[in-house]
Chain A
Amino acid sequence: MSILQHDVPLAWYLLLSAALFSLGIVGFLFKRNIITVFLSIELMLNGVNLSFVTFAHQWHAVKGQIFVFFVMMVAAAEAAVGLAIIIAVFRVRATLSVDRIDLMKL
């Protein structure tokens, strides 16, 4: 059995998922542009999706994949609304820096 025939342990998929998730958090913590922060959030969601798919594969549970489907839908809705909010904030504050937008009152 050559190296090509080896199966990939599912734990690696999970590790990758955890890594993506953590990188997303790091981006959320350290990036200053609000759009980039939003991108990091999407990255976190993707990490979670990978974990779901992995476990769906583990137990052959279709519902796991359907959950991913729903997550995608919600992420889409959330991205739309979030970006609309960013546009609205940008109109008033003229800045995209997270640190400058620190008041509830625009």
Chain B
Amino acid sequence: MNVPLHLWLIPLLPFAGFLLNGILGRRLPKALVTTIALLAPLASFAIVLFSAAATYLPAESRNLLGPDPAARLVALPFVETCPLAWLNLPGLHIDFTLTLDQLSLVMLLVVTGVGFLIHIYSVGYMHSDPGYARYFSYLNLFLFFMTTLVLAGNVLVMFVGWEGVGLASYLLIGFWFQKPSAASAGMKAFIVNRIGDFGFLIGIFLLLANFGTLTFSEIATKLTANPAWTGGILTVICLCLLIGATGKSAQLPLYVWLPDAMEGPTPVSALIHAATMVTAGVYMIARFHFLFDRSPFALSVVAIVGAATALFAATMGLAQNDIKRVLAYSTISQLGYMFLGCGVAAYSAAIFHLMTHAFFKALLFLAAGSVIHALGGEQDLRKMGGLRKKIPITFWTMTAAVVAIAGIWPFAGFFSKDAILYAAFLQGTGGKILWVVGLVTALLTALYILRLWYLAFFGESRSPGVHAHESPWSMLSPLVILAALSVCGGWIGIERFSAFLSPVLGVRSAESATPHLELYLSILAVAVAVEGWLIADKYYRRKTERPAQIAAILPGLYKLLANKYYVDEIYNYVFVRPLLVISRYVLSWVVDGAILGGAAWLLGGIATFGGAILQRWQSGNIRSYAAWLTAGAAVLLLFVLLVSSPHSWSLSFFHVEPIHKVSHIAVTQLTQAGH
């Protein structure tokens, strides 16, 4: 017997917060705005916790053999459907369905939990911003859409959430819209996302055409009923879905929006562009795992895309000077890891890494925000330094995150990254190549993140005029909580995690013949990470003049990395400029000017011309009116006599009876005599 969970409240409470703060926020006192803004995610988080507990707490249940020890208060999957159907056509039926299963439960805990912490952080960070209420309404809107995405029971509801988080991302990136760079960054994010969404839409259409339904459970059932259905159209569907995921999760080649998205406030970067929205792509692939499993080709593409992105982004992260840009490229790189995990069919590992990444990446961003706040707005790493003693709490929490992302045991990142690399290694020769790529990326990850750590906190302060102060407790408490999670978040272990998710994601029996292989690989990974630490230590703490010398020796390479491989410029020349040319010349001149303008001109011309004719006709001259009257009368008479008579015209004059005919004449003469 299922306890009602009221899943619909989870999205709807943040939506109510959005409406209240959005409409009334400017007129309410700041304390009330804060309360509304914090209450919504807290309530959602509470419901999620309750749901999690309900799946765990035993319930009284009896079957024929006695009390059922496995019965819980709520059995997963738990489906809630709105009684009002969304689309009810013959052949297509779509409901507003919310489904809670183990996968969405994990995601929800991350989204609402980390989201709530970031809401608390934002209270302190955005304290003096004039758009305070607007910020929180957008943040609540984002939570609404993200929870909808996670809880969706069919693809269409997920797509609503998908688009909605894109919208919320645009609103929040361009939050300080008076800054042109922020406004264009918001547009860039939305447009690039849309390109991915196009692929997603095509995938939805193909799904509908081939399965006739969009509900996840029904698609899975149909697939299990056809065990021999592999490849072919399923590959196409998977690739289309992958395009969508690429756009949302900032993989090659649609990653270009994420670094520019750093124009938004730092908590936004933490929430949306680290922990939750960008992971929607990974979540979507994990949701569709039953589809991807049928297409080994698509899985390989996913893995290759993920690995390539991870490496590519890590190299770019080495040469960035803005603290948030480094973290942005780090996010892209870690998302690449998650895609790699999905690509080698280790979906649980990918979700595990998603969870731990949410912890430490959010923490990294929030701590970076704290550093920026401490320095009064400075974001350039070259102007930081020596902050270790001045902002100790920030320093120690950030250290926890840095070690976690470097993948050093026993912090959280180690367990998840290791699970992915192990699963990759087991996938044959291609898998081993991917494993090497992943290993190199781990080295680079450690390198760039520790570079950031050293540059920000160690050495002499390079901006001596600024007095660094610690952030308020509203900003520090989430840092502490996230730091604790970064340390022990991975201790649940991949085995128990996979077992928990296995009802949804299936069981992977990926064991290798060589015993202790996993142990060897883990040690190798940690060694690589430590090597990266040592390199960073050498170049950024002890011999700090060396990086500049290396950059001077290899100017080309350094410029290539610093300018992000000129990808933005390439896109500009290849895509943006031609589009603008087409817009200006084809659309603006030809379509707008000639065709539409011509059509409008034509219509106007017809009206004017017709009006001119009519104007001359209505001259006021009685004689011409009389002439037209007479002509009309003659026509009418002709019509009556020739056309409407039942016989032909020659006969009508001979056989129509006189009274009938005479009455015609009499009537017409009378009407004319009365003029």
Contact, chains A and B (beta carbon distance below 8 A): yes
Give the CA-CA distance A29 to B622 in the complex, in Å.
9
Contact A29 B626 (CB under 8 A): yes
Give the CA-CA distance A99 to B662 in the complex, in Å.
37
Convert A23-67 into 0s and 1s, putting 1 for each residue whose CB lies closer than 8 angstroms to a CB of B: 001001110000001000100110110011001000000000000
Q: For A55, what are the chain B residues with a Cβ–Cβ distance below 8 Å?
A: 662, 666
The residue in chain B whose Cβ has the minimal distance to the Cβ of A104 is: B620
Convert B620-646 into 0s and 1s, putting 1 for each residue whose CB lies closer than 8 angstroms to a CB of A: 111100110010000000000000000
Taking A29-B626, A51-B669 as contacts, is the C-beta distance between A41 and B620 under 8 angstroms? no
Contact A44 B675 (CB under 8 A): yes
Convert B656-675 into 0s and 1s, putting 1 for each residue whose CB lies closer than 8 angstroms to a CB of A: 00000010011001101101
Q: For B673, what are the chain A residues with a Cβ–Cβ distance below 8 Å?
A: 21, 44-45, 47-48, 71
The residue in chain B whose Cβ has the minimal distance to the Cβ of A22 is: B630
B200-242 with Cβ < 8 A to chain A: none
Taking A98-B622, A98-B623, A99-B621 as contacts, is the C-beta distance between A29 and B672 under 8 angstroms? no
Contact B675 A103 (CB under 8 A): no
The answer to the question of A7 belonging to the interface, with a C-beta cut-off of 8 Å to chain B, is: no
The residue in chain A whose Cβ has the minimal distance to the Cβ of B634 is: A25
The residue in chain B whose Cβ has the minimal distance to the Cβ of A64 is: B666
Q: How near does chain B come to A25, taking the closest CB pair, in angstroms?
A: 6
Q: For B514, what are the chain A residues with a Cβ–Cβ distance below 8 Å?
A: none
The answer to the question of B619 belonging to the interface, with a C-beta cut-off of 8 Å to chain A, is: yes
The residue in chain A whose Cβ has the minimal distance to the Cβ of B665 is: A51
Contact A48 B669 (CB under 8 A): yes
The residue in chain A whose Cβ has the minimal distance to the Cβ of B659 is: A59
Give the secondary structure class of B's interface: helix
The residue in chain B whose Cβ has the minimal distance to the Cβ of A25 is: B630
Taking A25-B630, A48-B669 as contacts, is the C-beta distance between A102 and B622 under 8 angstroms? yes
Q: How near does chain B come to A92, taking the closest CB pair, in angstroms?
A: 15
Q: How near does chain A come to B610, taking the closest CB pair, in angstroms?
A: 22
Q: How near does chain B come to A102, taking the closest CB pair, in angstroms?
A: 3
Identify which of A29, A37, A101, A102 contacts B627 (C-beta below 8 A).
Answer: A29
Contact A29 B620 (CB under 8 A): no
Taking A102-B619, A102-B620 as contacts, is the C-beta distance between A29 and B662 under 8 angstroms? no
**Number of residues of chain A lying within 8 A (CB) of chain B:** 21
Contact A29 B621 (CB under 8 A): no
Q: Chain A CB within 10 Å — which of B619, B620, B673 has the most?
A: B673
Q: How near does chain A come to B379, taking the closest CB pair, in angstroms?
A: 76
Give the CA-CA distance A30 to B630 in the complex, in Å.
13
Convert A91-106 into 0s and 1s, putting 1 for each residue whose CB lies closer than 8 angstroms to a CB of B: 0000000110111100
Q: For B666, what are the chain A residues with a Cβ–Cβ distance below 8 Å?
A: 51-52, 55
Give the CA-CA distance A102 to B622 in the complex, in Å.
7
Q: How near does chain A come to B660, taking the closest CB pair, in angstroms?
A: 14
Contact B623 A29 (CB under 8 A): yes
Identify which of A44, A71, A99 contacts B623 (C-beta below 8 A).
Answer: A99
Give the CA-CA distance A45 to B674 in the complex, in Å.
8
Contact B626 A28 (CB under 8 A): yes
Give the CA-CA distance A104 to B618 in the complex, in Å.
12
Contact B670 A48 (CB under 8 A): yes
Contact A103 B627 (CB under 8 A): no
Taking A29-B626, A41-B675, A71-B673 as contacts, is the C-beta distance between A103 and B662 under 8 angstroms? no
Give the CA-CA distance A41 to B674 in the complex, in Å.
9
Identify which of B619, B662, B672 contacts A44 (C-beta below 8 A).
Answer: B672
B88-118 with Cβ < 8 A to chain A: none
Give the CA-CA distance A30 to B622 in the complex, in Å.
11
Q: For B669, what are the chain A residues with a Cβ–Cβ distance below 8 Å?
A: 21, 48, 51
Give the CA-CA distance A49 to B670 in the complex, in Å.
10
Give the CA-CA distance A29 to B623 in the complex, in Å.
5
The residue in chain B whose Cβ has the minimal distance to the Cβ of A52 is: B666
Q: For B627, what are the chain A residues with a Cβ–Cβ distance below 8 Å?
A: 29
Give the CA-CA distance A34 to B619 in the complex, in Å.
17
Give the CA-CA distance A103 to B675 in the complex, in Å.
20
Q: For B662, what are the chain A residues with a Cβ–Cβ distance below 8 Å?
A: 55
Give the CA-CA distance A51 to B662 in the complex, in Å.
10
The residue in chain B whose Cβ has the minimal distance to the Cβ of A75 is: B673
Q: For A21, what are the chain B residues with a Cβ–Cβ distance below 8 Å?
A: 669, 672-673
Contact A29 B675 (CB under 8 A): no
The residue in chain B whose Cβ has the minimal distance to the Cβ of A32 is: B623
Q: For A48, what are the chain B residues with a Cβ–Cβ distance below 8 Å?
A: 669-670, 673
Q: For B620, what are the chain A residues with a Cβ–Cβ distance below 8 Å?
A: 102-104
Q: How near does chain A come to B428, taking the closest CB pair, in angstroms?
A: 96
The residue in chain A whose Cβ has the minimal distance to the Cβ of B633 is: A25
Q: For A25, what are the chain B residues with a Cβ–Cβ distance below 8 Å?
A: 626, 630
Q: How near does chain B come to A49, taking the closest CB pair, in angstroms?
A: 9
Identify which of A29, A37, A47, A98 contacts B630 (C-beta below 8 A).
Answer: A29
The residue in chain B whose Cβ has the minimal distance to the Cβ of A59 is: B659
Q: For B619, what are the chain A residues with a Cβ–Cβ distance below 8 Å?
A: 102
Q: For B622, what are the chain A residues with a Cβ–Cβ distance below 8 Å?
A: 37, 98, 101-102
Q: How near does chain A come to B476, taking the closest CB pair, in angstroms?
A: 85
The residue in chain A whose Cβ has the minimal distance to the Cβ of B673 is: A48
Nearest 4 A-B pairs (CB), nearest first? A102-B620, A48-B673, A48-B669, A28-B626
Q: Footprint of A on B, CB under 8 Å?
A: 619-623, 626-627, 630, 662, 665-666, 669-670, 672-673, 675
Given contacts A45-B673, A104-B620, 6 further A-B contacts (CB under 8 A): A25-B626, A48-B669, A48-B673, A51-B665, A98-B623, A102-B619
Task: Report 7 cross-chain contacts, Cβ distance below 8 Å, ordered by A residue.
Answer: A21-B672, A44-B673, A47-B673, A52-B666, A55-B662, A101-B622, A102-B619
